[in-house]
Amino acid sequence: MQKKINIKDVAARAGVHPSTVSRVLNPATHSMVSQAVGERILKIAEEMGYARSPMASGLRTGRSYTIGVMIPDLLNPVFPPIVRGIERTLAEDGYIAILADSDNNTKSERAILDSMKARHVDGLILATAHRKDSVVDSCIEDDIPVVLVNRTTDSHEVTAVINDDALGIRLAVDHLLALGHRSIAFMGGPQNTSTGRERYVAFRNLWKKGHFRSDSTLILNGKSYNEQAGKAGMQKILRSQLEFTAVVTANDLLALGCYDALGECHLSCPRDISITGFNDMPFMDRLSSPLTTLRIPHDEIGVRAARLLLSRILHSDKTVTTVSLEPELIVRGSTASPAKA
C-alpha cells in the first residue's frame, strides 16, 4: 500500500504552509484563501492522491459526502444497531451519516426532509416510511437518492431493505403451536406501516388456516410501536375474558407493554401467558423474562441499505429493488408450554 498522503505533503509540494492547505480543504474556511491559490492546491492535492478526501473533492463535485438518516423513534433500541451498519458502510467510501429522529410525527418528517435538503445531503436512508408517504414521494419528485429500511411503501417505487415479516410471524406461531398453544392472541402495530400491515395480515392468514383458535377481539393493532400501546392493547385483550395462552406481538416494545399489563393483573410470563416479540432489539436477553423474538439482521439491514444508496449515488444505478431479509426465531424464556395443555 502507498503511504497515505497528508496535508503536510500537499503543502510541501505546493510551497505553502500546511494551514493554508487545511483552510482550502475546509469548506468553512475555503473562502479565506484566494481562488487562484485554492484551485492550485486542490489540483496538487488531487494529483498526489489526496483527492479522495471527501471535503477536497466535495468542493469540486458539489457532493457533500453526507447522507441523511431519518428514524421514527430514537427511543426504540432496534435502530442504533441498524444505524451502526449504515455508518460503518458509508465510512468505507468517505461518507458520514447525519441522523434525525421524527418521533413518528409526519410534520417533523417534512421539516427534517427540508432541512436535510437545505444541508445538501447526497442521499437519504429512511426508516420512517409509511405505506403512503409524502416524504418518499417528495424525494422521488426531486430525484433525491433514497433507500428505505425496515419498512417500505405500498407503491414500491424506491429501493427498500426490509424483513420477511410474514415468515417472522409464521416462525413465531409455529413455535407456539409446537409448544402446545391452541388459543393465541395478537398485538400488532400501526396499520399505516408495511411492518404493521404485513405482520397483521400474516397472523390473520395463519388463523384462517384453523391450526389455532383466536378471535377478532383477541387480534388488536396498536397505534404506535411502543410500550404504552402494547400495555393498552393487552389490557383490552385481558378485559375480553376470552381464553388464550399466548400472544404474538409485532414488535419487542409492544411485547414489553404486554409484560406490564400482565404484571398489573398478577399474571406471569410464561407461566400464565407466553409472549413473542419481533426485532430482537438489544438487551432483550437480559430481561427478567428473556424475550423469545424474531431477530432481524440489524447490521446487515444497515450495510445493504448503505451499499444500495452508494451504488445509486456513485454509479448512478437507478435500479429499484426490494431486498427482503429472513428473520430468525430466537427462543428464550418468555415462551413455554401452556399450563393446562
Task: Give contact residues for a second copy (rule: CB under 8 A).
Answer: 26-28, 54-55, 58, 64-66, 68, 74-75, 77, 80-81, 83-84, 87, 91, 96-101, 103, 108, 111-112, 114-120, 142, 256, 259, 282-283, 286-288, 290
Identify the sign of the CA torsion 202, 204, 205, 210. Answer: positive
- Take residue 288 and report the three cell numbers written for it: 427478567
Which residues are bridge partners to 272 per DSSP? none
| Smallest distance from a second copy to CB 285, Å | 9
| Smallest distance from a second copy to CB 6, Å | 12
**Which spans in 180-216 are helix H?**
194-208
* 3 state DSSP class of 124: strand
| Smallest distance from a second copy to CB 167, Å | 27
| Smallest distance from a second copy to CB 48, Å | 20
Nearer to a second copy, 122 or 198 (CB): 122
Answer left, alpha or beta for residue 132, where phi above 0 means left and psi between -120 and 50 means alpha: beta
- How far is residue 203's CA from residue 166's CA, in Å, rounded to a whole number? 8
- How far is residue 283's CA from residue 311's CA, in Å, rounded to a whole number? 33
Q: At what angle do helices 18-25 and 35-47 cross, to 10 degrees?
A: 90
Nearer to a second copy, 109 or 133 (CB): 109
| Smallest distance from a second copy to CB 25, Å | 9
| Smallest distance from a second copy to CB 75, Å | 5
Nearer to a second copy, 94 or 180 (CB): 94
| Smallest distance from a second copy to CB 165, Å | 24
Nearer to a second copy, 173 or 306 (CB): 306
| Smallest distance from a second copy to CB 80, Å | 4
- Take residue 243 and report the three cell numbers written for it: 381464553
Question: Could you tell me which residues come within 8 angstroms of residue 86 by beta carbon, excluding any fewer than 6 positions away?
Answer: 67, 69, 97, 125, 149, 302, 303, 305, 306
The reply to whether omega before 270 is within 30° of 0 (cis) is: yes
Nearer to a second copy, 58 or 190 (CB): 58
Question: Could you tell me which residues come within 8 angstroms of residue 158 by beta carbon, excluding any fewer than 6 positions away?
Answer: 136, 139, 140, 146, 147, 148, 152, 320
- How far is residue 279's CA from residue 289's CA, in Å, rounded to a whole number? 16
- How far is residue 189's CA from residue 195's CA, in Å, rounded to a whole number? 8
Nearer to a second copy, 91 or 339 (CB): 91
- How far is residue 73's CA from residue 253's CA, in Å, rounded to a whole number? 11
Nearer to a second copy, 47 or 282 (CB): 282
Nearer to a second copy, 5 or 287 (CB): 287
